[in-house]
Amino acid sequence: MLFSQNKLKGALGNHVILMILALTIILPILILLFNSIKPDEEFGINPLGFPETVRLMNYYDAFMIGNYAKVMMNSLFLVTGTLIVCLSLSSMAAFSLAVLNPNGKATILIGIYLLVGLSIPAQLFILPLFIIWKNLHLNNTFIGLILIYSALNAPFAVFLIRSYMVQLPRELFEAAIVEGASTIQLFTKVALPLSWPVFLTTGLVVSLAVWNEFLFAVTFIHNEDFKPISSILFSFQNMRDENYALISAASIMMAAPLAVLFILFQRNFIAGLTSGGTKG
Amino acid sequence: MTSWLFLAPVLFIHLLVVAVPSLSSLALCFTDWNGFGKINFVGFENFIELFDDRVFKKAVTHNLIWTGLFLTVPIALALLAAFLLTGVRRFQMFYRFVFFFPYILASIVNCLIWKYLFHPIHGLAAFFRDIGWESLATSPLTTKETSLYAVAFVDGWHFWGFLVVIYITAMYQVEESLYEAADIEGASKWQKFRYVTFPSIRPMFLFSFLIIIIWSVPAFDYVYILTSGGPAYSSEVVANFMYFEAFRNMNVGYASAVGALMFVYVFTILGFFWTLRKLGWEI
């Protein structure tokens, strides 16, 4: 009896501290939500609370002024393009490292190269890259940014997919070889279909990275027609510095798709984003 | 041979996007190039100039403060939260969800949340003015003394939940029997943390130390969006300094020198940790 009471008290203390910590995260996000449905006139008298009159039209206004239909499509296009390029190329590399040549010297060398690549600060290469892209006429194009995002996310994707593919039973590949499968068939008919769970995780993490990416988006896209959501939101807040109703509604529109994905696939997101750590 | 064919496409785009520009930068840092025009070799002049640059020195100091802040506050908070989380059953998934949530939000969204709250007229300032606490009704982002800390706070606010998740994963791998033994000995909560939990998660702890040191070097988004390094360079960091030298002033040589120094620093740290590991430290 005494023991269980003690335990209960202990857990209550834990909950109090954890709840305070959680509130430091929930409240600011809640205030953003409130602001997104607050009429602009109300900000002066009600800075943090729930709006007295709910104005959903903020979303419509932000959507129209920011031309969000187009902007969302731009971001979606970048995400889809990067997913296609990055995942297909990375899975080929992962297949090569995991199945074709799992213990070769080249594998170790490539592994080190990609690890080094992951640790290089973007500031070292962003300026020469900008100049190269300018000369290749890849600035201000989707394909230019997709190539950059694919390259930047490739090391992570290769490691994650490889770590899954090395666990596939070798007998499956041997059996397929006996039946006369070519290397390409080993890849498309055996390795890929069996590895789909890792593609979900990798795909989610890559989508998140691309959708949220800021530095390369503001640097490489200056044409308003091609700007993705992160850099539009940045110029949006510079243009209408004081209209927090519209800025908040625009922010929610950027965050909402990811929030939904995160709720649906929390486990995959966390596993993917912390994979460097848990294998560290 | 076919194994190389499967590797080639990824290697090609990675070489094109990362390796070639990185190597060019390491070469261009010894020149005075401005993006077009002639390229002149100037030896170490850019570096000599950098070490004399008041703003650059300020930025380096700020980066060191930044690293120090991130190595203490988020780590301490995350250790506390993760340890407390292992002691609760109910709502555990809820807390984990909440703590991790800001980590998946875009830097621009997180910045806009806090730009409003830290606004000199709106947000918390308006709230404090309403309840009569005039002294608190200022913006930490536009005050010279606090701007760097305010920016670091916003970045830390979004980041620390990541640490909670990696720590709690490690904590759940600790043998239950160790805690039972500690219970029998009558260990307090703190003693259990100090003598059971912490030693067991040490490898993960050191890993988080390493990534914080490395990730602090290119810290850019939060500074650029929230203060752009101001007011009066009070929140300037190296990445932001480099960005303005590169894309405002087109000082290719000078900016490359900054990039090269960041690169050397990161790989010195990595080399240091790698050496410790080779020497048999458990990292």
Domains and CATH numbers, chain A: 2-59 (no CATH), 67-239 (1.10.3720.10)
| Dist CA B143 CA A127 (whole Å) | 31
Distance from the Cα of A219 to chain B's closest Cα (Å) equals: 8
Residue A62 and residue A124 in contact, taking contact as beta carbons nearer than 8 Å = no
Q: Which residues contact B19 (CB under 8 A, 6 or more apart)?
A: A117
Cβ atoms within 10 Å, residue B241: 25
Q: What is the pLDDT of residue A4?
A: 45
b/e A103-121 (16+ beta carbons within 10 angstroms → b): eeeebeebeebbeebebbb
A123/B126 CB distance under 8 A: no
Contacts of A177 in chain B (CB under 8 A): none
ipTM score here?
A: 0.89
Contacts of B130 in chain A (CB under 8 A): 47
Name the 3-class secondary structure at B243.
helix
B105/A212 CB distance under 8 A: yes
Q: What is the pLDDT of residue A2?
A: 41
A254/B7 CB distance under 8 A: no
**Which residue from B161, B169, B263 is facing A124, i.e. has the nearest CB?**
B263
Q: What is the pLDDT of residue A185?
A: 87
Residue B223 and residue B214 in contact, taking contact as beta carbons nearer than 8 Å = no
Just give the CATH number of B41-278: 1.10.3720.10
**Which residue from A15, A47, A131 is facing B88, i.e. has the nearest CB?**
A15
Q: What is the pLDDT of residue A16?
A: 92
Residue B197 and residue B171 in contact, taking contact as beta carbons nearer than 8 Å = yes
A251/B109 CB distance under 8 A: yes
Asked if the C-beta of A177 comes within 8 angstroms of chain B's C-beta atoms, the answer is: no
Q: What is the pLDDT of residue A80?
A: 96
Tokens of B218: 């290119």
pTM: 0.90
Q: What digits encode the pLDDT tens for the residues A242-264?
A: 788 888 998 999 999 999 999 99
Q: Is B265 exposed, middle or buried (0-12, 13-18, 19+ CB in 10 A)?
A: middle
Asked if the C-beta of B114 comes within 8 angstroms of chain A's C-beta atoms, the answer is: yes
Confidence of residue A271 (pLDDT cuts 50, 70, 90): confident
| Dist CA B105 CA B146 (whole Å) | 24
Query: At residue A31, does pLDDT exceed 50?
Result: yes
B127/A47 CB distance under 8 A: yes
A119/B22 CB distance under 8 A: no
- The residue ranking higher by pLDDT, A54 or A64, is A64
Give the residue from B5, B92, B112, B247 with the most A CB atoms within 10 Å of its CB, the best one to mutate.
Answer: B112
Q: What is the pLDDT of residue B70?
A: 95
Query: At residue A280, does pLDDT exceed 70?
Result: no
Cβ atoms within 10 Å, residue A208: 21
Tell me which residues of chain A, numbers 85 to 104, contact chain B at a CB-CB cutoff of 8 Å. Answer: 85, 89-90, 92-93, 95-97, 100-101, 104
Q: What is the pLDDT of residue A8?
A: 52
Confidence of residue A7 (pLDDT cuts 50, 70, 90): low
* DSSP code per residue over A84-139: HHHHHHHHHHHHIIIIISTT-HHHHHHHHHHHHHHHS-HHHHHHHHHHHHHHTT-T
Asked if the C-beta of A168 comes within 8 angstroms of chain B's C-beta atoms, the answer is: no
CB pairs A-B closer than 8 Å: 264
State which residues of chain B have pLDDT below 70: 281-283
Find tokens 């994707």 and name the residue. Answer: A157
Residue boundaries of the structural domains of chain B: 41-278
Confidence of residue A5 (pLDDT cuts 50, 70, 90): very low
Closest-CA residue in chain A for B8? A93
Q: What is the pLDDT of residue A1?
A: 35
Asked if the C-beta of A35 comes within 8 angstroms of chain B's C-beta atoms, the answer is: yes
Q: What is the pLDDT of residue A99?
A: 85
Distance from the Cα of A56 to chain B's closest Cα (Å) equals: 19
Average pLDDT over residues A152-173: 90
Q: What are phi and psi of B166, to 5 degrees?
A: -70, -30
Confidence of residue A9 (pLDDT cuts 50, 70, 90): low
Name the 3-class secondary structure at B195.
helix
| Dist CA B253 CA B26 (whole Å) | 9
